[in-house]
Chain A
Amino acid sequence: MSSKEEILNKVVLDLFSYDVDGIRVDVEKALEKGFSPLEVINALSNGMREIGDKFARLELFLTDLMMAGDTMKAALEILLPKIPKDKAVSKGKIVIGTVKGDIHEIGKNIVSAMLTASGFEVYDLGKDVPASRFLEEAEKFKANIIGASALMTTTIPALKDLIEYVKAKGLRNKYKIIVGGGPVTKEYAEEIGADAYAENAVEAVKTIKNLIEK
C-alpha cells in the first residue's frame, strides 16, 4: 500500500475509533497528499455506511453511531468549505425532534444518527419540541424534510398538531413530513396527512431517501 493510500485508510480508522482530534490531523494530511475533499468524503461515507450496517445487526450500538457521527462532523468541518458550491455533497436536510410533551428520545436519536451516517445533514431539535419550533428551525436550516416522533399515546396527537400548524402557516407544500415512534402506525400517519411513516431507523433512512428523490 502506498503512503498516499495509507493516510486515507488512517482517516477511516480515526472514524472507526471515534478519534475527533486524530481525524482533524489526518484529513489535513490526506489533502496535502493530493486527495480531493470529495475523495476523502467518499471514503468516510463508506465507513459511516458500514457503521450503520453494523448497528442494524447490533454489532455496534447507539453511542457508537453518535460518536462516529461527531467524528465525521469534525472531518466535514474541514472538508466542506473546500468543495465548490456547485458540487453539493449533502443528500438532503432534515430537522428532527420528539414532539411537545414527550421526553422519550432514544428512537429519534437512533434515526438521527443513522441519517447522519447515510450522508444527510441533520438538525436534531431534541425532545419536547413545540410545532412552532419545528417549523421555525426548518425555515432557518433550509430543510427539505421535517421528522417528528412520539412515544406515548397521549403525545401522538401532537404529530397531527404539527401537520396542522405547518398547513396553517401556508408552508405544507414546502416540506415533506415523516412521522414515527412506538405507538405510531402507518394508518395513523395516513390519517393525519403525513407524507411518510417509518417503523424503525433503518426504514426511516430508506423512506427519507425515497422522499428526497420524489
Chain B
Amino acid sequence: MNSVNFFEVLKRASSGPIVSEKEFNILVFKKLKEVVKEYDIKFDGETPVPFDDSLADDVFKAALDFYADVGTYCMDTERIIKFTEDEIKEGLKNAPHKAFFGEGKEAKTFIPRKPESKETPWCHVGAGIAVSSEEIHSKLVEGYASIPEADSISVPALAFIEGVSIREPPIEFYGALKMLASAKEALRRAGRPGLPILNLVSTAASQIAGIAASAAQFGLTSSNGWLVPTYPELKIGNNELCKIAYLLSWGANIGAEYSPLIGGYSGGPEGTAVVFVANCIQGILVLKSTYQLAWITNVIDRCSTTKDAIWALAVSGQAISRNISFPVIQFHYQAAGPATKMLLYEVAAGMIEIVASGQAIETAHPARAVEIDYVTPLEMKFSVEIAHAAAGMKRTMANEIVKELLEKYENNIKNAPKGKKYQECFDLKTGKPTEEYLRIYNEVKKELKDIGIPFE
C-alpha cells in the first residue's frame, strides 16, 4: 500500500469532516484525557527523565490511537484531515528515516538516535526564535558557526532593518533578504559556507514572504531546511499547506515545527507528551517533513525547563526514538538569560534530558527567547559540550543529574534573572565573551563535572 501523498492531504483538507475550531479544541482535550487514562500514563515528579521503556511505548500507542481518532484541523477550511490507522502505520513505515543537509565539506546525513545511544547527537546551533538587532546579527551567526561541533545553524530573526521594525509583509521580505545576506557572510567568515541553515526563512514569519525570499536568485539551495509551523494543538492553515506544496515541488527539506503547551488544549504533562508524539506523526503524514523541530512550554511559567515540561519532552522523545526512526530536534526555552549560572543549569538539564532520550538538540534559548539580543554564542558552545558529554549516558544517571540541577534552579523560575545582552557580555569588536561570563561558565562547568557530567 502506498502512503497518502500530499495532493490527497490537500483533497482531505477540503472534503474532511466539518467542525468548528472550538469543537476541535474540546475534542483534542477530551480524547487525550481518554487515552491518558486508558494507557495509565502518569507524570512522576521524582523521575523527570523516565527510564521505563514501557511508559515510552504506551505514550506512542496512545498517540497512534489518538491521532487516528482526531486527525489534523485545517483552520481555513474548518475541516479535519483524517487518516486511518493503517494509513498512519504505512506513512510512518515509508517516512524518510534520515535527512541530508549541507554542501561541500559540511554535507552531512542526519541519522536518528535511540535512547542512551553512544552516537553524538546532531547539534543544531543557535536560537532561531530569538531576535537580534542588525548590530550583532552577523557576529552571532559567525560565533555559532565557529563552534566546531555545529552540524547546522539556526539564524536569529532580525528585529529591525535600518532602524525600522520588521513587520508582516511587505517589510519582512526585505528583512529576510538582509538576514540571509548577513548569515551567508558570517558563514563565509567562519570558513563554513556550506553549513546548512535549518530555520528558513527566519525574519519572514509569513509564509508568503518566506516563499518569496527562497527564490533561487537569493542563493538558497534545497540542502538547507525550511520550517513549516503548525499551531497548538494539531492545526494547520492554507498558507502553511501552500508553503509545503512549494517546498515539495523542488525537493527542499521541510521541517515540521510544533510546540505543545502544558496547560493548553492538551492539559497536563501526560496529555502534552501524547500530543507531542501525535504532532510528530502529523509532521510526517501531513507536512511530509524530512526533519522536525519541536519543544514544549509550560503556559504559566512560559518556559520549558520546569519539571513537568522536562518530563513530557523526555517521555515523548523516548516514545518517538524507540518507535519511529525519524530525525527530530528538540530544545527548551530557559527562563534565565545570558551571564547567569541559572541559565547554564537550565541548559545542562535540558540537553542531558534530550540526549539521553535519544533525540538531537538545538542549543539554548535564553530569557524565554523573547528579549532582543539576550543571546550569545557562549551558551550555545556550552549546550554542545553538554550534549556531547551526555552521549551514551544511561537514563537512570541522566535522571539523577537532572534532579540535582532542578534543585539548583527550580524555585527561581518565576523570578528568573534576565541576565545580560550580547553587547554587555561579549566584546563587539572581537566577538569574545567578557571575563565575567567566562568565569561563570568555567565555574558551572566545574560544578557539573563534580556531579558526574563526563566532559571530554
Contacts and interface: CB of A to CB of B under 8 A. Distances in A.
Interface string A195-208: 00001101000000
Contact of B205 (A56, A62, A152, A202): A152
Interface in B324-342: none
Interface in A145-160: 152-158
Nearest to A18: B26
B261 A106 contact: yes
Contacts of A61: 29, 263-268
A187 to B, nearest CB: 10
A153 B268 contact: no
B300 A56 contact: yes
Interface centre among B237, B300, B302, B372 (most CB of A within 10 A): B300
B25 A183 contact: no
A153 B166 contact: yes
Contact of B165 (A103, A104, A107, A156): A156
A155 B168 contact: yes
Interface centre among B157, B165, B168, B302 (most CB of A within 10 A): B168
B242 interface: no
A22 interface: no
Contact of B264 (A62, A153, A156, A199): A62
Contacts of A103: 75, 231, 237
A55 interface: yes
A157 B172 CA distance: 12
B182 interface: no
B299 interface: yes
A107 B262 CA distance: 12
Given A103-B75, A185-B371, A67 B26 contact: yes
Contacts of B266: 61
Contact of A63 (B26, B168, B371): B26
A169 to B, nearest CB: 21
Q: Determine the interface band of chain A, counting residues with CB < 8 A from chain B.
A: 20 to 34
Q: Is the interface of A mostly helix, strand, loop or mixed?
A: loop
Contacts of B440: none
A47 to B, nearest CB: 20
Interface string A94-136: 0000001101101100100000000000000000000000000
Interface string B363-406: 00000101110000000000000000000000000000000000
A56 B172 CA distance: 36
Interface string B244-265: 0000000000000000011111
B159 A63 contact: no
29 contacts: A55-B263, A58-B268, A58-B299, A61-B263, A61-B265, A61-B266, A63-B26, A63-B265, A66-B22, A100-B168, A101-B167, A103-B75, A106-B232, A106-B299, A107-B299, A110-B264, A110-B299, A152-B205, A153-B157, A153-B205, A154-B206, A156-B165, A157-B165, A158-B167, A182-B302, A183-B370, A185-B371, A200-B300, A202-B300
Interface of B: 22, 25-26, 29, 75, 131, 157, 159, 165-168, 172, 203, 205-206, 231-232, 237, 261-268, 298-300, 302, 308, 368, 370-372
